[in-house]
Amino acid sequence: MGTTVFWMLPLLLVMPVEVRESSDFHLAGDYLLGGLFTLHANIKGIAHLNYMQVPRCKDYDVKVLGYNLMQAMRFAVEEINNDSRLLPGVSLGYEMVDVCYVTNNIQPVLYFLAKENFNLPIQQDYSSYEPRVVAVIGPDTSESVVTVSNFLSLFLLPQITYSAVSDEFRDNSRFPALFRTIPSGEHQIKAMIQLITYFHWNWVIVIESLPVPLGNKTLMPAEKRRLEAIVDKIQNSSAKVVVVLSLDLALYDFFEEAISQNVTGYVWIASESWSIDPVIHGISRIQQIGTFLGISTQNIPIPGFSDFRVRQTPTGRPETDKKHSGPTCNQECDTCPDTLKSYNAILTHSGDRVAYNVYSAVYTVAHALHRLLGCNAIGCAKDTVYPWKLLQEIRKVNFTLLGHRIYFDKNGDPPMGLEIIQWQWDTGHDPFKRIAFYNPAQQYLSNVATNISWNTPNNSAPFSVCSNSCQLGQRKKPMGLHICCFECINCPAGTYLNQSGDFECQPCPPHEWSNEGEAHCFRRRLRFLEWREPATLAVALLAGLGFLGTLGALGVFCADCWTPVSVLFNLCFTLCMACITVRSFQIVCVFKMARRLPRAYSCWLRYRGPYASAGLLTLLKAAVVAAHVLLTPAGLTVRHDPDDARAMTLNCNGHYGRALLLNTGLDLALCVLAFGFAYLGRELPTSYSEAKFITLSVTFYFVSSVFLCTFVSVYQGVLVTIFDMAVTVVNLLGISVGYFGPKCYLILFCPERNTAAYFNGVIQGYTMRKE
């Protein structure tokens, strides 16, 4: 070790140090242990201490738990010294010091490191250095452990803390000589989280820092106002669970303030530092502010300790070191044991939880010494014990103590579990009743009691959540920064959520649907046109009328097929449109083409132009339809009904819009041509001109077909079928009534005008007028 070993000491320390003795309790022995305990809760006149000399007992209010732990160390030492199987022929001694929370840490550790003459020399190599003690037990708080360990680690002097839980102590590079007999803070927090999760609490208040009173137990006015504000904020919060991680020193005033403000109905979760504190447990009317739960170490009874704890004058005690000057608080003061007697009943009922941690720490050092000194059934070698050698043996200890295995993992942590306790105030019962157990190895909360007594009107667990759980079919919408705060929003139609806790709704499968706020989707019902529906009946009626009209026109034309009006029309709609187009062109040809282009007109007649044109157009339409059928085969397609999302429609053609455009495209082109030829023939003789009738028919067809294509492009519901049928029927009726109607009228009611002589006369008159 180098010359910089005292880098943590004040800069003025440049020479060997003389450390003034200040131990509270001293017991001689072959090998001494150092004990650091918080024995007094409030100190009067601490600023007047000279050389860190500890005041006498009369200047203190005894800290019951600290005194109890000190007694546990004394008991363990006496038990080991009286056991011939462990360290035979060797007696342990101890030096115990009150660290007063954090105000008296450095002086005791320097005292422990000093030699018998109270000097602490500066050396280049401390491997052969013999400090006053071979190991240190304590202190209790993490802050004090850090301070003490920074000194002890330089000498590799073993240190075992019994209640400091900070996770930073797992760093072996910073704390190479530190062990602990209590589970780490990580496991304590995990146990709390599992407890909170078990009761479905997600809105919790966490308190870590509270105002600390002065030595005379009073708070400064500013600190008093801060404490009142903290309690007031708790009452104004919707949370009903409060986790308190503060030191016990600040809790007495805190709970007194909570009682004075009439706080009720809360669950208070205590950290290990105060979960079994009998003084806080004994605060008047504290049970009215709610239910107290806490995290504590395992309750492992230590036989004989309860009687030893209140024994005023220990019998068979080894002789006290003669160098020790003057009486000390814990050795001679009668009021200290008397104070403990008043709490002995509650300490007895509460079990030896933290006391076992001190007890096992002393036994750990004893077993390590037993191995280091090569002890057997007869005795041990009286060799010099160097701290670094003892440290190596402590790392290897593995023994059974009161039915529990004691050893340390690579981080210096023990295999100890944690208990979840509930405070009780029934006389004669355990004030700290175990209600669950946490195993650090499995990281699981088990054996949760069902008979927990809740300080609520109906004895049920309080409800502490930021937001109530959403119902099935509702998603969470976050509110603020906390994921446990949200509002519940119904899933929109077409989505579902069958488990609570999700922030997104799931879409329904294609053939299923859901209403708003549903937890499941249902299969869409199949919708189709039924005969009893009014729309179907109306279209069927129109179709019937159209069919009858077509039959009537066909009968009239067949009966008078020899007349000039009659032309052979095919019932095929495209052929019909082709015939109308050719018919309108032929009328123009007769009156204009024959006079201007006689040769072309002659070819038109010779090669049966009307029939050839109608046939070619029909064949073209047939080719278009055949190509579409071959390239796009028909298949069953399911569509969602836009009028009713709970329904679906079946379609034999998945590309109905494209098919409709192909089927009507040629017909629309013929309509345009027919309209054009009809316009050219507007000057023909009134009796012969069919421009008005053709214009009416093709215009009606053009408008209805364009409307149908537009409707299909924006709508895919069951109404498409109705509109398709209705437009087809209307188009047929339009052609039947608009084009064939006048001709049937001429045939039936004007037979004198349905003669070849009449038509020839009209043509000759028109020709003579043009000439």
Which of the given ranges, 213-222, 337-346, 436-445, has the highest pLDDT on average? 436-445
For residue 320, pLDDT over 60 is answered with no
Q: What is the CB neighbour count within 10 angstroms for residue 610?
A: 18
Whole-number Å distance between alpha carbons of 616 and 260: 105
Tokens linked to 269: 């979760």
pLDDT (tens digit, 9 = 90+) per residue, 327-362?
333 344 455 566 666 777 777 766 678 899 999 999
Whole-number Å distance between alpha carbons of 700 and 477: 55
For residue 298, the Cα-to-chain-centroid distance in whole angstroms is: 32
Tokens 């309790």 map to which residue?
A: 25
For residue 2, the Cα-to-chain-centroid distance in whole angstroms is: 52
By three-state DSSP, how is residue 250 classified? helix
Whole-number Å distance between alpha carbons of 62 and 219: 19
Whole-number Å distance between alpha carbons of 267 and 463: 10
Torsion angle, alpha carbons of 418, 420, 425, 430, to 10: -50
Are the C-beta atoms of 227 and 207 separated by less than 8 Å? no
Mean pLDDT of 264-278: 91
Which among 680, 566, 692, 671 has a CA at the least distance from the CA of 617?
Answer: 671
Whole-number Å distance between alpha carbons of 771 and 56: 149
- Lowest-confidence pick of 58-72, 223-237, 386-400, 571-585: 571-585
Q: What is the CB neighbour count within 10 angstroms for residue 85?
A: 9
Mean pLDDT of 452-481: 86
By three-state DSSP, how is residue 644 classified? coil
How many alpha carbons fall within 13 Å on the CB side of residue 344?
Answer: 15
Whole-number Å distance between alpha carbons of 666 and 619: 11
Whole-number Å distance between alpha carbons of 225 and 211: 10
Mean pLDDT of 686-703: 67
Mean pLDDT of 584-598: 65
Which of the given ranges, 419-423, 447-451, 742-746, has the highest pLDDT on average? 419-423
For residue 569, pLDDT over 60 is answered with no
Which among 3, 508, 407 has a CA at the least distance from the CA of 181?
Answer: 407
| pLDDT computed for residue 590 by the predictor | 61
Are the C-beta atoms of 495 and 231 separated by less than 8 Å? no
pLDDT band at 3 (very low <50, low <70, confident <90, very high): very low
Mean pLDDT of 709-725: 73
Are the C-beta atoms of 654 and 706 separated by less than 8 Å? no
Tokens 């019998």 map to which residue?
A: 315
State the DSSP code for 524. Answer: P
For residue 326, pLDDT over 50 is answered with no
- The pTM is what? 0.64
Whole-number Å distance between alpha carbons of 270 and 65: 15
Tokens 């509460």 map to which residue?
A: 350
**Environment class of 529 (CB within 10 Å of its CB; exposed 0-12, middle 13-18, buried 19+):** middle
Q: What spatial distance separates the first Cα and last Cα of the chain, rounded to whole Å?
A: 137
Tokens linked to 41: 């809760």
Which among 243, 174, 148 has a CA at the least distance from the CA of 205?
Answer: 243
